[in-house]
């Protein structure tokens, strides 16, 4: 299931500081759209406005044909707009499987049940196991999340977003803190998700971004400076000057 | 409803509010900066009251009694901070609650062991046993003195917090405790000092309350709970919020107890009014708190902005 | 079906305790000591209250310092109708559930607008409000409390009879404990425990942390009210002192002492707390001067409670059992 996401002139101010500067995005169904930019460009703030954790001062967010600007985080999640966090945010006491099944529960509307074990849920459990497999964590299903290695925790971040029946994935630096090997593995993981979900990927890892993205938006000082295909971005003189510098990608 | 009655009750409300402020000022900072839930604050108030009662009976000097109260509360407060409280800063609020609950139990029993369960009687000092004339009516000097002393502390704390370096640290700490610690300030010393000053103010409140309320085991907790309401209404971590909220709560409670039953009797049948009046009056402060929380959960004058 | 591992001390001991408690009335009767039946009935009732609190506090992470309010409301849900001549247990129970449920809904909805410290203080304040409200109702005894003129009658059974009351209390505790065990692994329980660990994440996957917590608070309040209903029948008396803030504190101590968030923690905690209280009372009238510091110590030393200790004992025994054969054969 793939949905589109558009924003209309999003503005976010902290006092006199303009963190999001009239950002209008247009993310097409099924595409993998990357957002890149130097540190401090306001990428996480932007994602927080898309997921509902932050209210913009101006502008609207349209998801799957509906104006979701007034919807809360959980409402957007139930509508299919799921995110993963840059700083891992999981349920440390629960096992990998339990984390994923919990994520699947809401999508299946099975959370308000008070007797039979959650792991017996015939709808949520398979969905969770599929998500875990897609994220490459099947071998760790029984391990407590708190005991996972760092890279595995990032994978669980991803698995939870997948388990919740997303139409749209907001991925906030899924490869943060990973080694080259781990990043490569996750890149292939994400490639496998393309065309199954619409994905907005915020990342610093340029190899991954240029390898995966259908289109890229460059964010500088809160402004969406340029949107284009990886080739167009590579060649764009302003982008090279501001962000890529002398490096060839 | 006579003007004199109204005025007298207004002053009573102010006096109660001022006592609440003395308790709330220190406590709100402990809550806001150290994020420590100190239920034993009422015990420091009680110990101050007992220290004052004993010192007054022994020396006949109320001034000495006040000093004894503040000194005792300061010492015990510092001892508690160093021995117990400082070990719990990094822990859950639940642990704070448990530890201070145990302390309350201990101190309440301790005063019972030493002085017995009967309340101690503390006489109003002679120099303040008269009345003052305010716009044509008499008001007890002692209560008036409490108001005066409280307002003095309010002014003093305002000066301290807004005009000194330490005050700046306190304000910064109320807004962002981690940052202050990261700036290299000796946070351990600051915490101990804050806790101690809060304890001292509680002891002062206890000493002043002695002649007006009864000095007995368990006297601290009802006042403490009202103080918590004050802090919630005023905004955690905000001393100015504590002042305004304390005065509001003091007035609402005092005026409510006197006038709500009267008001109800005007508009409802006597038997209902007599039953509901005192009930509503005792609940008035909590209803106010519920209202504030419903409309503005962060309090009326929060320390942190944004 | 949850399997019970009976070799674990943390499971075996509480189950033994349940069995022992079931036998109490018969033993007490045989020994001609009816005092023991009411003594242990009181323990059972507080264990129910602690179980209720454990749902909000242990599973949900909500530090409610006002649960004694529900004990009091439950008691008065018996005493007030009885005062007016209504002795039907069904009416008492319905009133109890209604008042406690609605009360918990209102208090929870307001209190959950804050978190952390404020939540603790506000629940404490609301309980104090209830206390003052009931004290101010002079026509219903006020400060002195209200005797229960007619205990709860459920058809042929009357909770005024010590044996019936004991059976009811044991039954309610057993059922509640069983449900808590199931709930722990059920979707709602897992979601609630998730909300305790990471509320932000719960919202991000499409659940509503606040709603889950509110529901837990309401169920918790209602169950605590049932404990109050039983308490009123045990004492044939309803008193504002059962709602004193100290009682709320004692309930928290029971939950933590037993093992916060565990299934059998509340029972163990209630037994340990009230048992210790009884022992200390026998030694000195100033037992609180000893109990208080013990609670402080418990807070300082860290809190996995008695169940936590039993768990570690079990793990240690298992580790020894694995090492011992290797050692006996010479160096491993």
Chain A neighbours (≥3 Cβ pairs under 8 A) are: C
Q: How confident is the model at residue A158, as a pLDDT?
A: 92
List the single residue in B with minimal CA-CA distance to C113: B297
Q: How confident is the model at residue A199, as a pLDDT?
A: 95
- The radius of gyration computed from the CA coordinates of chain C, to the nearest angstrom, equals 21
Domains of chain A: 1-80+168-182+198-249 (3.40.50.300), 82-165 (3.40.50.300)
CB B161 within 8 Å of CB B242: no
Tally of residues, chain B: 306
- CB-nearest partner of B37 from C117, C122, C136: C117
How many A-C residue pairs are in contact by the CB < 8 A criterion?
96
Strands A81-84, A168-172: pairing kind: parallel
Q: Determine the distance from the C-alpha atom of residue C189 to the mean position of all C-alpha atoms in its chain, rounded to a whole number.
A: 17
> Is C303 in contact with B95 (Cβ distance < 8 A)?
yes
Strands A58-63, A5-14: pairing kind: antiparallel
Stretch 12-31 of chain B: residues touching chain C, C-beta under 8 Å:
31
- The mean pLDDT of A50-71, rounded to a whole number, is 93
ipTM of the complex: 0.90
List of chain B residues whose C-beta atoms are within 8 Å of the C-beta of residue C249:
97, 101, 104
Q: How confident is the model at residue A42, as a pLDDT?
A: 87
Q: How confident is the model at residue A244, as a pLDDT?
A: 57
pLDDT score of C260 more than 70: yes
Q: How confident is the model at residue A237, as a pLDDT?
A: 82
Q: How confident is the model at residue C332, as a pLDDT?
A: 45
- CB-nearest partner of A121 from C187, C194, C212: C187
List of chain A residues whose C-beta atoms are within 8 Å of the C-beta of residue C2:
117
Q: How confident is the model at residue B262, as a pLDDT?
A: 79
How many B-C residue pairs are in contact by the CB < 8 A criterion?
135
Least confident of B130-134, C211-215, C286-290: B130-134
Q: DSSP alpha helices (H): ranges in chain B? A: 3-34, 41-59, 62-80, 86-88, 93-115, 141-163, 165-175, 177-182, 187-209, 220-234, 239-267, 270-295
Q: Hey, where are the domains in chain C?
A: 9-328
pLDDT score of C303 more than 90: no
**Which of A79, A111, A125, A169 would you mutate first to test chain C, the one with the most C CBs within 10 A?**
A111
> Is C187 in contact with A93 (Cβ distance < 8 A)?
no
Kindly report, residue by residue over B177-220, the tens digit of the pLDDT.
778 778 877 778 888 988 999 999 999 999 999 998 889 999 99
Stretch 254-283 of chain B: residues touching chain C, C-beta under 8 Å:
275, 278-279, 281-283
- CB-nearest partner of A106 from C183, C193, C207: C207
| pLDDT tier, C1 (very low <50, low <70, confident <90, very high otherwise) | very low
| pLDDT tier, C216 (very low <50, low <70, confident <90, very high otherwise) | very high
Return the SS3 of A168. strand
| pLDDT tier, C253 (very low <50, low <70, confident <90, very high otherwise) | very high
Question: Which CATH code, of 3.30.70, 3.30.720, 1.10.3470, 2.60.40, is assigned to C9-328?
Answer: 1.10.3470
Q: How confident is the model at residue C219, as a pLDDT?
A: 98
pLDDT score of C2 more than 60: no
pLDDT score of C204 more than 90: yes
pLDDT score of C190 more than 80: yes
pLDDT score of C165 more than 80: yes
**Element containing residue C247 per DSSP (H, E):** helix C245-258
Q: Hey, where are the domains in chain B?
A: 3-217
Kindly report, residue by residue over B220-250, the tens digit of the pLDDT.
998 999 999 999 999 988 888 999 999 999 9
Q: How confident is the model at residue B302, as a pLDDT?
A: 84
pLDDT score of A246 more than 50: no
> Is B231 in contact with C121 (Cβ distance < 8 A)?
yes
Strands A5-14, A17-23: pairing kind: antiparallel
Measured between alpha carbons, how far is C288 from B104 in angstroms, rounded to an integer? Answer: 10
Stretch 87-126 of chain B: residues touching chain C, C-beta under 8 Å:
87-88, 93-99, 101-110, 112-113
Higher-pLDDT residue of B166 and C98 is C98
Q: How far is A59 from chain C (nearest CA, A)?
A: 22
Kindly report, residue by residue over A80-139, the tens digit of the pLDDT.
999 999 899 999 999 999 999 999 998 888 889 999 999 999 999 999 999 999 998 999
Distance of CA C55 to CAs B192, C213, C224, Å?
A: 36, 10, 11
- The mean pLDDT of B58-64, rounded to a whole number, is 89
Q: How far is C78 from chain B (nearest CA, A)?
A: 20
Q: How confident is the model at residue B278, as a pLDDT?
A: 74
Averaged pLDDT of chain A: 90
Q: How confident is the model at residue C200, as a pLDDT?
A: 94
Q: How far is C75 from chain B (nearest CA, A)?
A: 19
Q: How confident is the model at residue B279, as a pLDDT?
A: 77
Give buried/exposed letters for C228-254 (b at 16+ CB in 10 A, else e). Answer: bbbbbbbbbbbbbebbbbbbbbbbbbb
pLDDT score of B277 more than 80: no
List of chain B residues whose C-beta atoms are within 8 Å of the C-beta of residue C65:
97
- The mean pLDDT of B89-98, rounded to a whole number, is 92
Q: How far is A33 from chain C (nearest CA, A)?
A: 21
Measured between alpha carbons, how far is C53 from C179 in angstroms, rounded to an integer? Answer: 14
Return the SS3 of A195. coil
Q: How far is A156 from chain C (nearest CA, A)?
A: 12
Q: How confident is the model at residue B1, as a pLDDT?
A: 58
Taking alpha carbons only, the member of B298, B292, B226, B238 closest to residue B19 is: B226
**Which of A106, A158, A164 would you mutate first to test chain C, the one with the most C CBs within 10 A?**
A106
> Is A51 in contact with C204 (Cβ distance < 8 A)?
yes
Least confident of B78-87, B217-226, B254-263: B254-263
Q: DSSP alpha helices (H): ranges in C4-88? A: 9-31, 34-54, 68-83
pLDDT score of A27 more than 70: yes
pLDDT score of B305 more than 50: no
Angle at B278 between CA B277 and CA B284, to 5 degrees: 90
- The mean pLDDT of A158-164, rounded to a whole number, is 93
Residue B83, both tokens: 């021995």
Q: How confident is the model at residue A249, as a pLDDT?
A: 45
Q: Which of B14-18, B123-127, C26-30, C152-156 has the highest mean pLDDT?
A: B14-18
Return the SS3 of B112. helix
> Is A111 in contact with C188 (Cβ distance < 8 A)?
yes
> Is A119 in contact with C206 (Cβ distance < 8 A)?
no
**Which of B20, B93, B94 would you mutate first to test chain C, the one with the most C CBs within 10 A?**
B94
> Is C125 in contact with B286 (Cβ distance < 8 A)?
yes
| pLDDT tier, A248 (very low <50, low <70, confident <90, very high otherwise) | very low
Stretch 158-197 of chain B: residues touching chain C, C-beta under 8 Å:
none
């Amino acid at each position: 299931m793939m949905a589109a996401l558009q924003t209309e002139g999003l503005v976010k101010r902290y006092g006199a500081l303009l963190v999001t500067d009239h950002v209008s995005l247009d993310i097409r169904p099924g595409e993998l759209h990357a957002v890149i930019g130097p540190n401090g460009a306001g990428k996480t703030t932007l994602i927080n406005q898309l997921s509902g954790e932050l209210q913009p001062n101006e502008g609207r967010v349209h998801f799957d044909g509906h104006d979701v600007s007034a919807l809360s985080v959980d409402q957007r999640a139930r509508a299919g707009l799921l995110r993963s966090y840059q700083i891992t945010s999981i349920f440390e006491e629960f096992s990998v499987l339990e984390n994923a099944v919990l994520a699947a529960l809401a999508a299946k509307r099975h959370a308000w049940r008070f007797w039979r074990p959650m792991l017996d849920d015939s709808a949520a459990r398979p969905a969770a196991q599929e998500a875990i497999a897609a994220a490459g964590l099947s071998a760790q299903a029984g391990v407590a999340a708190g005991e996972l290695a760092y890279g595995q925790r990032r994978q669980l971040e991803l698995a939870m977003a997948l388990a919740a029946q997303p139409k749209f994935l907001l991925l906030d630096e899924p490869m943060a803190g990973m080694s080259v090997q781990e990043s490569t593995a996750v890149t292939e993981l994400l490639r496998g998700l393309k065309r199954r979900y619409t994905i907005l990927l915020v990342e610093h890892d340029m190899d991954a971004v240029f390898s995966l993205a259908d289109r890229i938006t460059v964010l500088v000082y809160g402004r969406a400076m340029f949107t284009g295909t990886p080739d167009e971005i590579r060649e764009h003189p302003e982008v090279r000057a501001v962000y890529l510098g002398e490096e060839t990608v | 409803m006579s003007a004199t009655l109204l005025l007298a009750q207004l002053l009573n409300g102010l006096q109660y509010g001022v006592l609440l402020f003395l308790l709330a000022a220190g406590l709100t900072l402990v809550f806001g900066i150290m994020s420590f839930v100190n239920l034993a604050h009422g015990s420091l108030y009680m110990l101050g009251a007992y220290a004052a009662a004993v010192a007054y009976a022994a020396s006949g000097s109320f001034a000495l009694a006040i000093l004894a109260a503040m000194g005792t509360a300061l010492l015990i407060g510092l001892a508690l901070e160093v021995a117990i409280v400082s070990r719990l800063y990094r822990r859950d609020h639940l642990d704070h609650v448990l530890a201070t609950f145990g302390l309350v139990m201990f101190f309440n029993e301790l005063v019972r062991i030493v002085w017995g369960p009967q309340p101690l009687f503390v006489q109003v000092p002679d120099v303040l046993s008269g009345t003052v004339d305010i716009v044509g009516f008499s008001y007890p000097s002692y209560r008036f003195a409490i108001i005066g002393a409280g307002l003095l502390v309010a002014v003093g704390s305002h000066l301290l917090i807004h005009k000194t370096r330490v005050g700046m640290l306190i304000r910064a700490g109320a807004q962002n405790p981690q940052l202050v610690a990261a700036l290299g300030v000796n946070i351990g010393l600051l915490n101990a000092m804050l806790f101690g000053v809060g304890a001292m103010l509680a002891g002062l409140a206890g000493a002043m309350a002695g002649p007006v309320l009864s000095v007995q085991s368990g006297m601290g907790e009802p006042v403490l709970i009202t103080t918590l309401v004050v802090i919630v209404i005023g905004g955690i971590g905000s001393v100015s919020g504590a002042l305004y909220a304390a005065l509001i709560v003091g007035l609402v409670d005092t005026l409510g107890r006197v006038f709500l039953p009267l008001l109800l009797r005007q508009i409802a049948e006597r038997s209902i009014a007599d039953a509901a009046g005192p009930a509503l009056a005792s609940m008035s402060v909590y209803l106010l708190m519920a209202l504030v929380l419903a409309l503005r959960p962060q309090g009326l004058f929060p320390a942190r902005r944004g | 079906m949850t399997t019970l591992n009976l070799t674990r001390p943390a499971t075996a001991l509480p189950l033994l305790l349940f069995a022992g408690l079931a036998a109490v009335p018969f033993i007490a009767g045989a020994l001609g000591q009816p005092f023991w039946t009411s003594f242990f009935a009181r323990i059972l009732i507080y264990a129910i209250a602690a179980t209720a609190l454990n749902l909000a506090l242990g599973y949900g992470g909500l530090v409610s310092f006002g649960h004694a309010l529900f004990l009091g409301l439950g008691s008065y849900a018996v005493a007030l109708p009885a005062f007016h001549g209504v002795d039907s247990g069904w009416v008492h129970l319905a009133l109890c559930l209604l008042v406690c449920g609605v009360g918990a809904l209102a208090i929870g909805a307001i209190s959950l607008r804050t978190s952390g410290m404020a939540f603790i203080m506000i629940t404490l304040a609301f309980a104090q409000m209830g206390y003052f409200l009931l004290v101010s109702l002079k026509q219903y005894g006020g400060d002195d409390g209200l005797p229960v003129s007619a205990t709860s009658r459920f058809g042929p059974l009357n909770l005024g009879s010590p044996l019936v009351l004991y059976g009811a209390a044991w039954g309610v505790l057993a059922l509640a404990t069983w449900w808590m065990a199931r709930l722990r692994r059920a979707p709602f329980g897992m979601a609630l425990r998730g909300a305790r660990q990471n509320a932000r994440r719960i919202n991000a996957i499409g659940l509503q942390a606040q709603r889950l917590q509110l529901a837990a608070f309401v169920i918790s309040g209602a169950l605590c009210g049932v404990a109050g209903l039983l308490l009123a029948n045990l004492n044939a008396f309803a008193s504002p002192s059962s709602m004193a803030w100290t009682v709320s504190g004692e309930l928290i101590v029971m939950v933590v002492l037993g093992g916060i968030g565990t299934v059998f923690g509340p029972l163990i905690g209630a037994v340990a707390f009230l048992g210790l209280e009884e022992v200390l009372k026998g030694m000195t009238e100033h037992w609180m001067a000893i109990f208080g510091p013990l609670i402080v110590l418990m807070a300082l030393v860290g809190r996995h409670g008695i169940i936590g200790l039993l768990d570690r004992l079990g793990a240690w025994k298992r580790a020894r059992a694995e090492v011992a054969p290797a050692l006996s054969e010479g160096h491993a």
